[in-house]
Amino acid sequence: MTESPQVITIDGPAASGKSTIGKLVAERLGFVYLDTGAMYRAVTLAALQRGVDTNDAMAVSDIARHVRLDLRTPTLEEADGRQYTVLLDGEDVTWEIRAPRVDRHVSAVAAHGGVREAMVAQQQRIGQQGAVVMVGRDIGTVVMPDAPLKIYLDASLEERAHRRYLEAVARGERLDYEQLLAAMRKRDAYDGSRDHSPMRAAADAIQLSSTGLSISEVVDAVLVLAAERLRRPVTG
């Protein structure tokens, strides 16, 4: 029997804290961190750059199959508060994929079956190498269903919108909280009801709510679970 690779999956809605928690857990365990949302965002940016209608499933899927995506640890020169560097056909798009226009189109792009197929294949290749914390919407259900530890992280809509609002303010952006709340509600509904791999918790996922908890409390909870569920690394 082959053992399933050492992978921790963290799924959940936007601003549930999964990227922050995932990155910290990966650092503590010496694992690779992969934010799969960044991959869907990069494909969205590629479509927008080419002037392709993001509702055109064929055209966008074709882009997803042909772009070169690379997510890696930032070099010293790149360190500007980023969690990782995203390269799209060799170009650094780490911040561009966070732009509001990408936010507006990414759900449509991520709903195309052809796009998901291309992304999932890449994610599974990375997952098979093991020692990875993988964050997204369908990682526990579709990408790595045999992962030994699957987390579904959630928080109330209001708390998530509030976090995004504070992040934007910290970056010097002006946003309307009510609009942000409405956009987030819409994106949740869209991601959770699409035909291909809708966002949901795997039946065997451990559900955690980050509402009212500090980052370190959630990280500690995941690390306790990791110590129980993951094989001890072979040493010596």
36 binds ligand DC (CB under 6 A): yes
187 binds ligand DC (CB under 6 A): yes
SS3 (DSSP) at 236: coil
Residues 79-138 that bind ligand DC (CB under 6 A): 106-107, 110, 136-138
| Min separation Cβ 30 and ligand DC, Å | 23
Q: How far apart are CA 74 and CA 175, in angstroms?
A: 29
Question: How many CB atoms are closer than 10 A to CB 157?
Answer: 15
Q: Which is nearer to ligand DC, 153 or 221 (CB)?
A: 153
Q: How far apart are CA 184 and CA 108, in angstroms?
A: 14
SS3 (DSSP) at 42: helix
Q: How far apart are CA 1 and CA 138, in angstroms?
A: 25
For 194-212, the three-class secondary structure string (H helix, E strand, C coil) is: CCCCCCCCCCCCEEEECCC
Q: Which is nearer to ligand DC, 106 or 221 (CB)?
A: 106
| Min separation Cβ 8 and ligand DC, Å | 14
Size of the site for ligand DC (CB under 6 A): 14
| Min separation Cβ 34 and ligand DC, Å | 10
Q: Which is nearer to ligand DC, 137 or 150 (CB)?
A: 137
Which residues in this chain contact ligand DC in the complex, by CB under 6 A?
14, 36-37, 40-41, 106-107, 110, 136-139, 187, 191
